[in-house]
Amino acid sequence: MNAESVPLTPPPPQDPPIYRDLLRTWADRGRTLPGRHDPEWVRLAAPQVRRGQFSGLANPRDEGR
């Protein structure tokens, strides 16, 4: 097979200009963009309770009653 018989892969479709402009505007304003890593969202969605902070087993003898 030579290089002339190998089919070329078409380039991926691009967003319409209105969407590219919108994404650029959002990025310039520091907004969250679809499909992009967002450190603030990761921080806000992280669990607030650390492993081992609370015990799942209660010992009634240690409750002071």
CB atoms within 10 A of CB 23: 16
pLDDT of 44 above 80: yes
pLDDT of 64 above 60: no
pLDDT, position 28? 93
Residue 52 C-alpha from the chain's centroid: 26
Return all residues near 9 (Cβ < 8 A) that are at least 6 apart: none
Average model confidence (pLDDT) across the chain: 78
Instruction: Give residue-wise pLDDT tens across range 28-38.
Output: 998 888 888 88
pLDDT, position 25? 93
